[in-house]
């Protein structure tokens, strides 16, 4: 399971030459993934071939257009849970503490709730713990997977595979009816207005970030109607103290 999680993390990351060059290795991992159904393997192998044979600049442009141009498909998990509230900042602190308890340090210019980074973290754990944490984040994974499936995106295969690894293969399908009723992503429709409002909110919230530090809430994931994006290079987690 851990090797499959690392593979899915790579497939969900920003496309790179290294990712394209690893096409055969990634395909081998999927083909040997005993916890995946034949349909999932077929869909993932199709995605791997697409990544390996497409123009890299086109892949990167498609990635940005899909995951970075609105909130509905943001890969930052806590954005779907807490939005821009102060609770998201505390959840980040708790998640970083969880990384440290496992002797891991994040070596990437990325927020700790970036989904490929989380999957890389899960891949470092024992299978039982990894499966439990994956199940905890499944409400967000299922929502993203259903939205991608509704758009007929090949990357939806990643999220279906994650649901299978978590032991909840029906999770994405259960979200499809809900997603079908959604309107357009308002952050795309009103991008300029939203960025202006959030810039003002960010500049006025510095003092608030110092409050409530004594109340440390556990890391918890739950579905939310909207999401957001931040800058994102490829994730990497390394051992550390």
* Interval 203-215: pLDDT, tens: 333 333 333 333 2
Burial class (CB in 10 A: 0-12, 13-18, 19+), 89: middle
In the chain, domain spans = 2-239
**pLDDT at residue 97 is higher than 90:** no
Long-range contacts of 16-19 (CB under 8 A, 24+ apart): 16/56, 16/234, 17/56, 19/51
> What mean pLDDT is predicted for residues 91-99?
80
Query: Residue 66 CA to chain centroid, in angstroms?
Result: 13
Report the candidate in 160, 136, 98 with the shortest Cα–Cα distance to residue 221.
136
Question: In this predicted structure, what is the pLDDT of residue 230?
Answer: 39
Question: In this predicted structure, what is the pLDDT of residue 197?
Answer: 47
> What mean pLDDT is predicted for residues 110-120?
88
Q: How many CB atoms lie within 10 A of CB 57?
A: 9
Mean pLDDT of the chain: 75
pLDDT band at 49 (very low <50, low <70, confident <90, very high): very high
**pLDDT at residue 157 is higher than 50:** yes
- CA 230 – CA 241 distance, rounded (Å): 26
């Amino acid at each position: 399971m851990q090797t499959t999680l690392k593979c899915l993390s790579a497939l969900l990351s920003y496309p790179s030459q290294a990712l394209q060059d690893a096409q055969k290795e990634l395909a081998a991992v999927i083909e040997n993934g005993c916890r995946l159904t034949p349909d999932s393997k077929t869909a993932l192998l199709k995605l791997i071939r697409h990544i390996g044979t497409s123009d890299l600049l086109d892949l990167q442009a498609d990635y940005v257009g899909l995951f970075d141009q609105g909130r509905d498909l943001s890969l930052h998990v806590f954005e779907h849970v807490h939005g821009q509230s102060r609770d998201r900042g505390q959840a980040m602190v708790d998640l970083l503490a969880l990384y440290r308890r496992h002797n891991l340090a994040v070596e990437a210019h990325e927020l700790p709730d970036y989904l490929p980074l989380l999957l890389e973290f899960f891949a470092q754990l024992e299978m039982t713990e990894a499966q439990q944490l994956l199940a905890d984040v499944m409400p967000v994974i299922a929502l993203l997977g259903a939205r991608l499936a509704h758009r007929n995106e090949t990357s939806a295969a990643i999220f279906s595979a994650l649901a299978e690894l978590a032991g909840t293969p029906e999770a994405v399908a259960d979200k499809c009816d809900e997603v079908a009723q959604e309107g357009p992503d308002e952050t795309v429709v009103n991008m300029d207005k939203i960025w202006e409002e959030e810039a003002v909110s960010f500049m006025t919230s510095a003092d608030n970030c110092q409050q409530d530090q004594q109340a440390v809430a556990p890391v918890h994931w739950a579905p939310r109607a909207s999401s957001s994006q931040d800058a994102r290079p490829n994730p990497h987690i390394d051992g550390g103290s």
